[in-house]
Amino acid sequence: MSTYLLKRFIAMIITLWLIVTGTFFLMHSVPGSPFNEERTTNAAIQKNLESYYHLDEPLLVQYGNYLKALVKMDFGPSIKKSSQTVNDLLGRGFPVSFELGFYTLILAILSGITLGVIAALRHNGIIDYLAMSIAVLGISIPNFVMATFLIEQLAVNFPIFPVATWSSPSHMVLPILALATGPMAIIARLTRTSMLEVLTQDYIRTAKAKGLSPVKIVFKHALRNALLPVVTVLGSLAASILTGTFVIEKIFAIPGMGKYFVDSINTRDYPVIMGTTVFYSGILILMLFLVDLAYGVLDPRIKLHKKEAK
Amino acid sequence: MELLKYEERNISPEIPDEWFVPKARNNQAAEAVVRPSLSYWKDSWHRLLKNKLAIAGMVFLVFLAILAIFGPLISPHSVETQKLTMQNLPPSSEYWFGTDDLGRDVFTRTCYGARISLFVGLMAALIDFLIGVVYGGFSGYKGGRTDNLMMRFVEILYGLPYLLVVILVMVVIGPGLTTIILALSITGWVGMARIVRGQVLQIKNYEFVLASKTFGTKTARIIRKNLLPNTMGPIIVQMTLTIPSAIFAEAFLSFIGLGIQAPHASWGVMANDGLSTILSGYWWRLFFPTLFISLTMFAFNVLGDGLQDALDPKLRR
Amino acid sequence: MEKVLQVKDLHVSFSTYGGEVKAVRGVSFDLYKGETLAIVGESGCGKSVTSQSIMKLIPEPPGKIRSGEILFKDIDLIQLKEPELRKIRGANISMIFQDPMTALNPTITVGEQIMEGIIQHEKLTRNQAKRVALEMLTLVGIPNPEIRLKQYPHQFSGGMRQRIVIAMALVCRPDVLIADEPTTALDVTIQAQILELFRDIQKKTGVSIILITHDLGVVAQVADRIAVMYAGRIVEIGTRREIFYHPQHPYTKGLLQSVPRLDMEKGELIPIPGTPPDLFSPPVGCAFAARCPHAMEVCERVYPLKTQLSTQHHVDCWLQDERAKNLVPTLV
């Protein structure tokens, strides 16, 4: 198992390096200098700025420096927000974004699994159709539409929750709801399908033949097996929640990483774009790794295959 | 073993004696096939027709296509003409969906948005299909080391967060309709390639394909009778599910200001414009574009689900 | 002999995409204490449905027990509600399914899967349950039971898994054990071991076994009595000797001729022509008539009456009627 972990770790580093490299050259392939847009800067100042940010050095040298800094977890300075580093922005934005993303993921997983299990147990019943209609709707309504709808209904028409910002638990309700609907719907559908599949398995019939109660059959025998496919999509769901935070943070004016990212795109603040991208990718790759570990814990067959493979 | 005597046996005298004659032989009866066999596509079509939600989705999409093509023609207002005297009017017989802050007709703009969304969705699906089928088909057909290498590459692309990549590409090549489609295609084809490759690999080794070959069936017939029904199903389903995700991506990008640019009409742009007026009570400016985005995605999703159920040969009973 | 289980005129049907399938159409038999009754027949003849109906394990819907009685200790299981049924399942009547690869839950340890049955039915602590489980594993011949208890199903071979499934079924000392094709998925050598285990266990525990199979070789080894099923009905039932040496129903004869036997002269195997009838609309008369070499007009019109040939041997066939004897004198 430990050699497997090591292998996975090396693969993680390689993927991350590929992303860093890809992002770096993509960002530096944009024609012109990032300072071009500002009409006020004259040629001399532009030159100064470029040398200050080492933009006048050969690309490969810049790339080498960037990698060296990255190893030390230094994402470099922001171009547009003077006297601030990307690390400053991340340090301020990440805790907020993490809170939003984490609660969203928890809510999506818990409610999605519950909905999916209930739908499967009431297969072809009214509750099933209702739950699955909600799920298709949840998948179809884009998160920013959901956000605007929630604001319109629950903050403007019926002022139950505050419209924006991130300062108290009641501020968190709407953004989390808006962001969680899609992933919840995906989890619910997947759980239902996989639960239905598991319920037809022979070992469920065996459990019934033992005289176990339906509750025991569902929770002890079916659920764990039904959740295996759900665990595998958690990685990509985390990715979609992450991209979702860009727009949700923008709509609700939440001072998170996503907002900085979107702002940096609009102001062409390349070091910030690059830094946040690399940071996001790192988190996602870590997520995928954790999902893999969780899968190994849930399914005892996994470890053996790894051993047998050697 | 001794047999019981005749008197002790259970014999029913009410059955006439003349029935005890050998039955006329009819061998076909024993072998008769009971249920009529339907062709794959016919069978799938019948199953799809039974799925009311999927049919509703299909009807809506046809309606949307008509609206996208003819809507701007029947509307008396143009997309970009600004009438500053007609700002923020609620829906009326003159302006069906109301007007926006520059006095533009929301209905006409929504129709244009439908054009953009459908165009982006269809183009993305088509490009994904072309690249995916060629790449995945070649990889699966070749097999071995080539396949291994090609799939490694696909795996790396697959691990990247789709929208993040699209955003980065948009930052580099700048906003616009063609660039959106280009950006979506850069990683979008990966899913299709995986599906096609998996199918080809699987079917290549199926016994029924080998069996048809040994019977001397012509290649064209094998492709038509065996390969197509088995690969087309998942491909069609993947395409119907690519379209809504491309439509979502376009709306998302336009919403955060990276997609279609302001004077042009796209549902994402309109939703973003409408958002700022949410407190002023101009609900129609937000309502119509978001309603259309949601309905369109919903229609494609239920149609995709319906197709998946209808086309899956394993479900055939 | 004491009857532990009586099935009377059982009718089971399934509603499907294409209509209602009448899978079991009036099955009756008794099961005596300590015996092995084999139910044989081609796939789709209703033997598995019959066995699953006894424990009411057929999925409802689409399945439905239309009528009949299943008497266990004078209780009609068909009338019982789910909670009462659960007290009988696993405790008094238990079941073994065909494929040991899929019958065990892959994510739960073998020990837990054996123990949960005892804990469900008997007031035992986990430690006591564990002791019973260990005893059971030893009984079914699994070495190192202490270690094996903590392992997962994938760490066992097919034969070993089937032993565990048997241990699981026997853990509460049931009166009746229903084994649905218990050896079909196993290698021939393992098959023999498992059948040996069945005989051994029966001797030790006195359990009555209903063995569902299509394999006459298996039947010859372990069955005391044999019921032959065709198209949802038992067409002939008798002791092993009676069925193997004096089969009366043309279908039974056909079955016996279609499998290789050591005592057969110059081994020619004669297949039964045709396929079983469609159970969406089963024939009015004898379902085998269409494939029967001796079919008469009456066979297609009326279902034959039961003829008792000995205390144990019954057959449903018009050839037993005196009037048929004139037509085919060589038959009997």
Query: Hey, is the C-beta of C28 within 8 angstroms of any chain A C-beta?
Result: no
Q: Is the link from the previous residue into B91 a cis peptide, with omega within 30 of 0?
A: no
Contact between chains at B256 and A141 (C-beta distance less than 8 A):
no
C98 domain residue, yes or no: no
C125 domain residue, yes or no: yes
Within this chain, do residues C215 and C125 fall inside the same structural domain, yes or no?
no
User: Which chains, if any, share at least 3 CB pairs under 8 A with chain A?
Assistant: B, C
User: By three-state DSSP, how is residue B81 classified?
Assistant: coil
Between C284 and A310, the more confident residue is: C284
pLDDT over 70 at C169, yes or no: yes
pLDDT band at A110 (very low <50, low <70, confident <90, very high): very high
| pLDDT, average across residues A262-281 | 83
* pLDDT in the model for residue B317: 35
* A208, A300, A304 ranked by CB distance to C107: nearest: A300
A122 to chain C, minimum CA–CA distance in Å?
12
A303 to chain C, minimum CA–CA distance in Å?
11
| pLDDT, average across residues C266-289 | 76
pLDDT band at A187 (very low <50, low <70, confident <90, very high): very high
Instruction: List CB contacts of B289: < 8 A, sequence separation 6 or more.
Output: B110, B113, B267, B268, B270, B271, B274
**Most confident segment among A39-43, A50-54, B97-101, B190-194:** B190-194
Query: Hey, is the C-beta of C15 within 8 angstroms of any chain B C-beta?
Result: no
Within this chain, do residues C206 and C309 fall inside the same structural domain, yes or no?
yes
Instruction: List CB contacts of A171: < 8 A, sequence separation 6 or more.
Output: A161, A162, A164, A165
CB-based contact A199:A222 (threshold 8 Å): yes
Between B155 and C180, the more confident residue is: C180
pLDDT over 70 at A304, yes or no: no
C299 to chain B, minimum CA–CA distance in Å?
8
Question: Which range has the worst mean pLDDT, A208-212, A287-291, B287-291, C262-266?
Answer: C262-266
Nearest C-alpha in B relative to A270: B171
* pLDDT in the model for residue C111: 87
Per residue in B213-246, is it b (16+ CB within 10 Å) or e — as a string? eeeeeeeeebeebbbebbbebbbbbbbbbbbbbb
* pLDDT in the model for residue B30: 45
Q: Chain A residues with CB inside 8 Å of C161's CB? A: none
CB-based contact C39:C51 (threshold 8 Å): yes
Tell me the whole-structure pTM to 2 decimals. Answer: 0.81
Point out the domain boundary residue: C119, C154, C173: C173
State the average pLDDT for chain C.
83
Distance CA A238, CA A282 (A): 12
C223 domain residue, yes or no: yes
Question: Which range has the worst mean pLDDT, A210-219, B105-114, C269-278?
Answer: C269-278
Tokens of B196: 């096609």
Per-residue pLDDT of chain B (317 residues; tens, 9 = 90+): 334 443 444 455 567 777 777 766 555 444 444 455 556 677 778 888 888 888 899 999 999 998 888 877 777 777 677 777 777 777 777 777 777 777 778 888 888 888 888 899 999 999 998 998 888 888 887 778 888 888 888 877 777 777 788 888 888 887 788 888 888 888 888 888 888 888 887 777 766 666 766 776 666 666 666 666 667 778 888 888 888 888 888 888 888 878 787 777 888 888 888 877 776 777 777 888 889 989 999 899 888 888 887 876 554 43
If one counts the domains in chain C, the total is 2
* pLDDT in the model for residue C22: 84
Q: Which amino acid is at A55?
A: L
Point out the domain boundary residue: C149, C173, C197: C173
Contact between chains at A19 and B252 (C-beta distance less than 8 A):
no
The DSSP string of B123-143 is: HHHHHHHHHHHHHHHHHHHH-
Secondary-structure class of domain A1-310 per CATH:
mainly alpha
Tokens 């001072």 label which residue? Answer: A255
* pLDDT in the model for residue A36: 55
Within this chain, do residues C157 and C222 fall inside the same structural domain, yes or no?
no
Give pLDDT tens digits for A114-165: 999 999 888 878 888 888 888 888 888 888 888 888 888 888 788 888 877 7
| pLDDT, average across residues C9-26 | 83
| pLDDT, average across residues C78-92 | 85
Contact between chains at A299 and C106 (C-beta distance less than 8 A):
yes
* pLDDT in the model for residue C267: 58
Preferred mutation among A21, A141, A145 to probe B, highest tally of B CBs within 10 A? A145
pLDDT over 50 at A176, yes or no: yes
User: By three-state DSSP, how is residue A77 classified?
Assistant: strand
Preferred mutation among A206, A298, A303, A306 to probe C, highest tally of C CBs within 10 A? A206
Point out the domain boundary residue: C122, C143, C173: C173
Q: Which of B187, B264, C164, C112 minimizes the C-alpha distance to A239? A: B187
Within this chain, do residues C50 and C121 fall inside the same structural domain, yes or no?
no
Distance CA C38, CA B8 (A): 28
* B4, B20, B317 ranked by CB distance to C324: nearest: B20
Q: Chain C residues with CB inside 8 Å of B23's CB? A: 289, 295-297, 299-300
Q: What is the ipTM of this complex?
A: 0.81
Size of interface A-C (CB pairs under 8 A): 79
C331 domain residue, yes or no: no
Between C167 and C264, the more confident residue is: C167
CB-based contact A297:A224 (threshold 8 Å): no
CB-based contact B256:B180 (threshold 8 Å): no
C236 to chain A, minimum CA–CA distance in Å?
29
* pLDDT in the model for residue B271: 83
User: By three-state DSSP, how is residue B105 classified?
Assistant: strand
* pLDDT in the model for residue A33: 57
Between C329 and A223, the more confident residue is: A223
Number of Cβ within a 10 Å radius of residue C266: 4
Number of Cβ within a 10 Å radius of residue B176: 16
pLDDT band at A109 (very low <50, low <70, confident <90, very high): very high
Within this chain, do residues C210 and C165 fall inside the same structural domain, yes or no?
no
Q: Phi then psi for C32, rounded to 5 degrees? A: -95, 160
* pLDDT in the model for residue A306: 45
> Residue C277's domain is classified under what CATH number?
3.40.50.300
* pLDDT in the model for residue A303: 59
Within this chain, do residues C21 and C48 fall inside the same structural domain, yes or no?
yes
Distance CA C119, CA C133 (A): 11
Contact between chains at C102 and A209 (C-beta distance less than 8 A):
no
Give pLDDT tens digits for C113-123: 888 888 888 88
Find the domain containing C283 and state its range. Answer: 3-92+174-326
Within this chain, do residues C212 and C306 fall inside the same structural domain, yes or no?
yes
DSSP A300: T
Within this chain, do residues C85 and C116 fall inside the same structural domain, yes or no?
no
* CA atoms within 13 A of residue B27's CA, in its CB half-sphere: 3
Interface subset of B 238-297, CB within 8 angstroms of A = 244, 248, 251-252, 255-258, 271, 274-275, 278-279, 283, 286, 290, 293-295, 297
pLDDT band at A37 (very low <50, low <70, confident <90, very high): low
* pLDDT in the model for residue C190: 81
Domains of chain A, by residue range, sit at 1-310
* pLDDT in the model for residue A307: 42
Question: Which range has the worst mean pLDDT, A171-175, A181-185, B23-27, C244-248?
Answer: B23-27
